[in-house]
Amino acid sequence: MTRRMLVAVLALGGVFLAAYLTLYHYGYVGSLACGTGGCEKVQGSRWANFLGVPVALWGTGYYMSVFAVATAGSLGPWVERRWPSGALVFLNGWGVLFSAYLTWAEVARIHAICRYCVVSAGLVVVLFSLSLLDLRDYRRAPK
Amino acid sequence: MAKPVKKKPSNSRFVGTIVLVAVVGVAVLGYAVSRPRAGVKPVDPSLAAGTAEGYLVGNADAPVQVIEFGDFECPACGQWATLTEPDVRERLINTGLVSFRFYDFPLDMHKNTWPASNAVACAADQGKFLDMHDRVFATQDRWNGEATNNPKKVFLQLAAESGIDTAKWEDCFDTQQHYPRIKANLQEGVRRGIGQTPTFIIGTKMIPGNIPFDEFRKYVDAAAAEAAQAAKATPSKP
């Protein structure tokens, strides 16, 4: 499997993780709980929305974009093209920055850590690293 | 020389992995959505709900109205009650800025929370709500579901330490006469969309979680400013 393919597979996992958090945000999953759980606190905080849209929904859109670009770049005519690598680095670069901002908010503002958010942040870092390696390989490859 | 990137990768293996992840993901999400949700504790359906009534602390006419929905067995509520609430009482309630009401919101994950609410309600009958509330929260580790199947023993001891008439208290506790009120308080929380404990309603804002004093104060100040603005906007009677 190429690195792009791996990015596509991991991003698809991310789609489901973010979709779960979106459903949680809207109350379709999860349960009433004693607020010791970081996720309840994080999801209930004002940081759970960005520009009026739940952060989890932003995350779903982000993972879907990464999945679409990586899949398109892994199959058919775009396999040999370099632009999907550049697009993945761009998307995942934003993903890393946004995750860093959210992690800062959890630690410094909300004072709670949601384990799903930690998993997502780790996933984003892995996606970004794979995208960088993929771009490097395409740069080195003979034209 | 760098290796060429492309040696034809296997598309079928890639597509197969994608399909596998998609199937697992849809199955997990489907299970999460369809499984019965842990909710509020199911109580005897024949038990009529009383009137929802929080326990008032402070001046009922204070400019800022605060409501807490709490569960006596919830560690987060216990932390808030023992670490933050003393400051809230001293600096916000006792100064006349805040009127505070506590509503029971017993969660089904906690085995002894209903008896705890009942124990405090029976103490409140004798004017000892705050005393018992504080003692019950401070001793969670002695009576919670992990510690004992018979929390009454501990509650009785706490009641005696509070200077309560224990015979009266026991009679009240054993007959569970406050269960309708506890159920009504719980239903009031459900009606308001409470999703976790503790949750505070400060003025017009609902704030879930064990929030520190500074954050609590910030919401109180905002609510006080709103109340002042509303008072200004209302024309005074001649």
Interface confidence, given as ipTM, is: 0.82
**Cβ within 8 Å, pair B28-A74:** no
**A36 in contact with B at a CB cutoff of 8 Å?**
yes
| Rounded Cα distance, A98 and A104, in Å | 10
Q: Give the residue among A101, A128, A100, A119 at the shortest CA–CA distance from A18.
A: A119
Domain ranges of chain B: 55-227
Question: Which residues of chain A does B110 touch, with a Cβ-Cβ cutoff of 8 Å?
Answer: 34
C-alpha to C-alpha distance for B117 and B186, rounded to whole angstroms? 11
For strands B196-197 and A33-34, give the pairing: parallel
3-state secondary structure of A49: strand
Tens of pLDDT, residue by residue over B14-47, are 899 999 999 999 998 888 777 654 433 344 445 5
Please report the pLDDT score of residue A138 as a whole number: 80
Contact between residue B204 and residue B226 where contact means Cβ atoms under 8 Å apart? yes
Give the pLDDT of residue A19.
92
Report the predicted TM-score, pTM, of the whole model to 2 decimal places.
0.59
Which two three-digit tokens encode residue B24? 């697992």
Does B17 lie at the interface with A, CB-CB under 8 angstroms?
yes
C-alpha span between B176 and B172 (Å, rounded): 6
Chain B residues touching residue A30 (CB < 8 angstroms): 37
How much is the pLDDT for A113? 82
Contact across the interface for B28 and A28, Cβ inside 8 Å: no
The bridge status of strand A53-54 relative to strand A49-50 is antiparallel
Written as six digits, the tokens of B208 are 């879930």
Which pLDDT score, from 0 to 100, does residue B233 have? 79
The enclosing domain of A24 has a CATH number of 1.20.1440.130
Do A40 and B196 make contact, defined as CB atoms within 8 angstroms?
yes
* A141 closest CB neighbour out of B4, B71, B77: B4
Counted domains in chain A: 1
Domain range for A75 is 3-140
Q: Is A45 helix (H, G, I), strand (E, B) or coil?
A: coil
Q: What residues pair up with B77 in beta bridges, in sequence order?
A: none
Q: Are B108 and B116 in contact (CB under 8 A)?
A: no
- Chain B residues within 8 A of A81 when measuring between CB atoms: none
The separation between CA B91 and the C-alpha centre of its own chain, rounded to angstroms, equals 22
pLDDT value of position B45: 47
B5 touches chain A (CB under 8 A): yes
Nearest by CB: A35 against B25, B28, B76:
B76
Chain B residues 166-205 with a CB less than 8 Å from chain A? 194-199
Residue written as tokens 């503790």? B198
A13 interface with B at CB cutoff 8 Å: yes
Which residue is closest to A143 within chain B, CA to CA? B4
> What is the three-class DSSP state of A83?
helix
Q: Classify the C-alpha dihedral B80-B82-B84-B89 as positive or negative.
A: positive
Q: Which residues of chain B fall short of a pLDDT of 70?
A: 1-9, 35-50, 235-238
What pLDDT is stored for residue A126 in this prediction? Answer: 95
Homologous superfamily (CATH) for B55-227? Glutaredoxin (3.40.30.10)
Q: Dump pLDDT digits (tens) for A83-118.
A: 899 999 999 999 999 999 999 988 888 777 888 888
| CB atoms B195 and A27 under 8 Å | yes
Q: Do A1 and B110 touch (CB under 8 A)?
A: no
Closest-CA residue of A relative to B3 is A141
More confident residue, B47 or A1: A1
Separation of alpha carbons B192 and B171, rounded Å: 33
Within 8 A by CB and 6+ apart from A57, the residues are A18, A22, A25
